[in-house]
A and B are shown apart, each in its own frame.
Chain A
Amino acid sequence: MTRTVDDPEAHGLTRVGGRPPLTKYLRGVAQRKDFILSLAKYRIEAENERQRLGLLWIVLKPLLNAAVFGLVFGILMASTKNVPDFVAFLIIGVFTFEFFGSCLNAGSKSITNNQALVQSLAFPRMSLPISVVIQKFMELVPTMLLLALILTVMGHRPTWNWLLVIPLIGLYFLFCMGMALTAARLAVHIPDLTNILPFVTRFFFYTSGIFFSFDLRFADSPRMLEYVQYQPVYAFMSLARELFLDSDPLYDVRVELWPIVAVWSVVIFLFGIVFFWAAEERYGRVN
């Protein structure tokens, strides 16, 4: 074939596009940290801009959520009368679960809903799902502070164990980040995922013991109780609850849950990073 163009290598030109190696890619993501943080912050502002109560909705939503579940399961179905401190039990679960659910949901849309952006500007695509998770994390922090306040008002004394909630949330952040990155890529390959995902979230919601107690349900089959603690979201929920309700003699901190959440977090986080990066070139395609 005759060359009709200049020899690119001779003039020091490099190939456009193409996925950089993982470490270089992650450095590129780190360089975009201001973009990622501003995008997260501004999205929160934009979402609440027209609401009269504005940013207050960040804490109002989980409160209303807890109120509905409390009404239905605590009062109407009365299925929980044996759960000690049901109200505290419920709000810790609902407040903590919100982050996982919204990361998974918004994370899965982070590429597919931003096609125009992905097709017009060149930046590491990982910035988008990361920014979504940081946005949800910025909403989680005030919720957790409110939770601590409510629990104190309800008479659950703060103890030193409350400080352990901070590393727990750190691990939870990594776990949810991994899930969001995985969902973001899968949604690009499988458009049907948007229909499946609500069921996945609901599955986790109902199998994590948020408005009922697995300890009571499986009181007579300790084997089931052992299996269920390997369900990561359940492990996170339970640990958060046991740390917060430390002053309550009916709740003991199960130390054995720590390695479970730690392993899940690190594995899912690393998997999500690699899994998302591997398809970097795919995200800009039009179809």
Chain B
Amino acid sequence: MAASTEYSPGRRPVVVVDDLHVEYKVFATGKRATGKDSDGGLLRRPKRTQTVHALKGISFTAYENDSIGIIGSNGSGKSTLMRAITGLTPATSGAVYASSRPSLLGVGAALIKPLSGQRNVILGGLALGLSKEEIEAKYDEIVDFAGIREYIHLPMRTYSSGMTARLKFAIATVRNHEILIVDEALAVGDREFRKRSEQRIREIRDNAGTVFLVSHSMRSIRDTCNRVIWIEKGELMMDGDPEEVIAAYKAKRRR
């Protein structure tokens, strides 16, 4: 048994990641940087697929009420891992098991910029799987949390980036997620909103949920997480207490 896995029998596991591998096949266009100039022209260029091994056998168990920070340098596989946990990216081998379908915090892609904020609250809520009645019941809560009541009837394309981010966050967190994945969402908005959103994340965590937080901000990871997983080049480097893992990660980066 790997020493890095925090294995604690007794608590209820909600997500089990079992030897997860994810590979992407990418159409390699253009020439390889081998230095050798091929004699073929545009028409003779061979099309080969390149395999990117994004995750190489990740295993861990997340328990109820865990709030897990995921850290690692750019391109280490953090986002791929999160998408695999939600089932949006299929595993090449291994599997992810969960007590309910984990969802990514984010609704931005479902919104339509030329439409008013009001319309987008409805559309975003529906995209998250809420019913019309549920959205109506939570409408005021969303608008007030985002703090954009006076602009709610204006098209979303006229919103500032801060307002847009606040609205997205407010819609996305309205649903009670049993297992929630937040991908660097806390870095949005001004300081005051950041505080409120961190508070919201803590609330979600307390509501018997499990939260994964992907972030480059060690401060927000320290503030919200009780456990940290460090990934590098698709492999799990360390899993455990936030202070220890962050210290090890920083030491590695300094070298």
The chain A residues found within 8 Å of chain B, CB to CB, are 1-6, 8-9, 11-18, 32, 34-35, 38-39, 42-43, 45-46, 49-50, 114, 116-123, 281-282, 284-287
Give A189 Cβ to nearest chain B Cβ, in Å: 12
Give A195 Cβ to nearest chain B Cβ, in Å: 16
Q: Contact check, B99 vs A13: say whether CB atoms are below 8 A apart.
A: yes
> Chain A contacts of B83 at CB under 8 A?
119, 284
| Between-chain CB contacts (< 8 Å), 17 pairs | A4-B5, A5-B16, A5-B60, A5-B61, A13-B15, A14-B99, A16-B85, A16-B102, A18-B87, A35-B123, A43-B112, A45-B114, A46-B112, A49-B155, A119-B83, A122-B87, A123-B129
State the total of A-B contacts with C-beta under 8 angstroms.
139
Across the interface, A11 reaches (CB within 8 A) one of B17, B24, B99, B115, namely B99
The reply on B88 being an interface residue by CB < 8 A is: yes
Q: Contact check, B87 vs A17: say whether CB atoms are below 8 A apart.
A: yes
Q: If A35-B126, A42-B112 touch, does A11 touch B90 (CB 8 Å cutoff)?
A: no
In whole angstroms, how far apart are the Cα atoms of A1 and B86 in the complex? 26
Give B131 Cβ to nearest chain A Cβ, in Å: 7
Query: Count of chain B residues with Cβ under 8 Å from any Cβ of A?
Result: 56
The reply on B18 being an interface residue by CB < 8 A is: yes
Most buried by B among A16, A38, A118, A281: A16
Q: 1/0 contact trace for B73-87 toward A, CB 8 Å?
A: 000000000010111
Q: Contact check, B127 vs A6: say whether CB atoms are below 8 A apart.
A: no
The reply on B250 being an interface residue by CB < 8 A is: no
Q: 1/0 contact trace for B60-104 toward A, CB 8 Å?
A: 110000000000000000000001011111110001111101111
Q: Contact check, A13 vs B110: say whether CB atoms are below 8 A apart.
A: no
Give B110 Cβ to nearest chain A Cβ, in Å: 6
Most buried by A among B90, B104, B107: B90
Q: Contact check, B103 vs A117: say whether CB atoms are below 8 A apart.
A: no
Q: Contact check, B97 vs A15: say whether CB atoms are below 8 A apart.
A: yes
